[in-house]
Amino acid sequence: MLSHLLHLRGIESVVLEARTRAEVEGTIRAGVLEQNTVDLMVETGLGDRVKAEGLEHHGIELRFGGRGHRIAFDELTDGRAVTVYPQHEVLVDLIAKRLSDGGDIRFGVSEVKVHDHATDKPYITYTDADGNRHALACAMVAGCDGSRTETRNLIPEATIRQDYFRQYPFAWLGILAEAPPSSEELIYANHPRGFALISTRTPEVQRQYLQVDPEDSIDNWSDDRIWSELHARVDGEGAQIKDGRIFEKSILQFRSFVCEPMQHGNLFLAGDAAHTVPPTGAKGLNLAVADVYALSNGIAEFFETGDRGRLDAYTETVLPRIWRTQHFSWWMSSMLHRLPDASAFDHRRQVAELDMVTRSVAGRTLIAENYVGTPLD
């Protein structure tokens, strides 16, 4: 996306991608796009498939005490919505667009090392997919290398960089199943047995999650056990899970992380290289898009005018949204999950919080505004 946005401002970039194109386009990840993300895709010529195939959602259901409580985005946010369109499909669209615009994406590279990022002559050495070594000179480097980033470590810890980290005492078991949708909208269920999330991918493929222990193994979860647990946590008034054939299952760990600053010299971090959110708010990809939108503006302004002002202000521009999103993702997680050491009092208090938030227009608005995403600055 950064490469695409820069191209639209007349700036050349090279994308070094560790994986093959087939791996990038085939890896299943989360699937909820904020209104901002869809708008930016449409405005920059990437809207055809997301508009045709994405499933627009105008609300979510928070489920507790065996009943659903709808958060109606339309009326609470002036008609904003989210779109269920899997992240790898966004990548399919971006890669096709970059390549048809003459973009330079080098897949399957390894041994990537950034040199001299604090000078005005950084360069990157890497091995290409055929095993040949290269050096690439550039004006600046964007570290978009995900949560297992190496570029983050180039910002010296303690003297310059501060890391903020939180681990959670739970994880999600995620499945993909061939089944009809169990619900028209996503269901986030709080249940004494633990959290469950009912999501979707297409009319034929459903995505569902169960809260599990972070130490749990996927081998402990037969298909029968998964379905019976989903039924136990979700079925009730107005909801009935529809079973199907499970063809993918995995356990996802939960963490919150932010590093500050997100830049050093001519190195700029974006997305999971700089921050991670737990998946409850469906924010990871959207936050990465907000980062690169701001970063592309800073880079473009520098090349157009020679003024580094916006570029130097990159971290302070994006951090307020990142921390708001950290709070939202933490808050949704803590309201909806069963904590292993929670007392009966804690569970009652949690249900009271959900009751307060869903009963009040102000509470529902707060969730709706954050879920659809506050507009990009």
Residue 233: helix, strand or coil by DSSP?
helix
User: Using the rule CB under 6 A, is 3 a contact of ligand PHB?
Assistant: no
| 279 is a site residue for ligand PHB (CB under 6 A) | yes
Per-residue 3-state assignment (H helix, E strand, C coil) for 145-209:
CCCCCCHHHHCCECCCEEEEEEEEEEEEEEEEEECCCCCCCEEEECCCCCCEEEEECCCCEEEEE
- The verdict on 284 binding ligand PHB (CB under 6 A) reads no
Beta bridge partners of 32: 84
User: Contact with ligand PHB (CB under 6 A): which of 280, 325, 370, 374?
Assistant: 280
User: Quick count: other Cβ atoms within 10 Å of Cβ 304?
Assistant: 11
Q: Is 4 a catalytic residue?
A: no
282 touches ligand PHB (CB under 6 A): yes
The answer to whether the beta carbons of residues 324 and 157 sit under 8 Å apart is no
Q: Which of 85, 188, 209, 314 is catalytic?
A: 188
Between 31 and 373, name the residue whose CB sits nearer to ligand PHB.
31
Nearest in space to 294 (alpha carbons), one of 206, 183, 377, 208: 377
**What character string, x for contact with ligand PHB (CB under 6 A) and - otherwise, covers 185-204?**
-x----------x-x-----
C-alpha distances (whole Å) from 233 to each of 208, 260, 279, 331 are 12, 39, 19, 20
> Which one of the listed residues 7, 57, 58, 337 is annotated catalytic?
57
Count of residues that interact with ligand PHB, criterion CB under 6 A:
10
User: Which CB, 103 or 279, lies closer to ligand PHB?
Assistant: 279
Q: Does a cis peptide bond (omega within 30 degrees of 0) precede residue 261?
A: yes
Catalytic residue flag (residue 188): yes
The single residue of 278, 279, 293, 337 carrying the catalytic annotation is 279
Residue 30 interacts with ligand PHB (CB under 6 A): yes or no: yes
CB 316 to ligand PHB: min, Å: 28
Catalytic residue among 58, 117, 264, 283: 283
Pattern of binders to ligand PHB over 235-264, x per CB under 6 A?
Answer: ------------------------------
Q: Which stretch binds ligand PHB (CB under 6 A): 48-56, 137-145, 244-252, 277-285?
A: 277-285
279 carries an active-site annotation: yes
**Shorter beta-carbon distance to ligand PHB: residue 30 or 368:** 30
Look at the chain and count its residues.
377
- The DSSP H or E segment spanning 372 is helix 361-372
- How many angstroms separate the CA atoms of 131 and 277, rounded? 35
Helix/strand/coil percentages in the chain, nearest 5: 40, 30, 35
Write out the two tokens for 88: 């790898």
Sequence letter at residue 374: T
Residue 277 sits in the site that holds ligand PHB (CB under 6 A): no
Q: Quick one: which segment of 29-37, 138-146, 237-245, 338-346 binds ligand PHB (CB under 6 A)?
A: 29-37
Give catalytic residue positions: 57, 188, 279, 283, 371
Q: Please give the residue ranges that form the binding site for ligand PHB (CB under 6 A).
A: 30-32, 186, 197, 199, 207, 279-280, 282
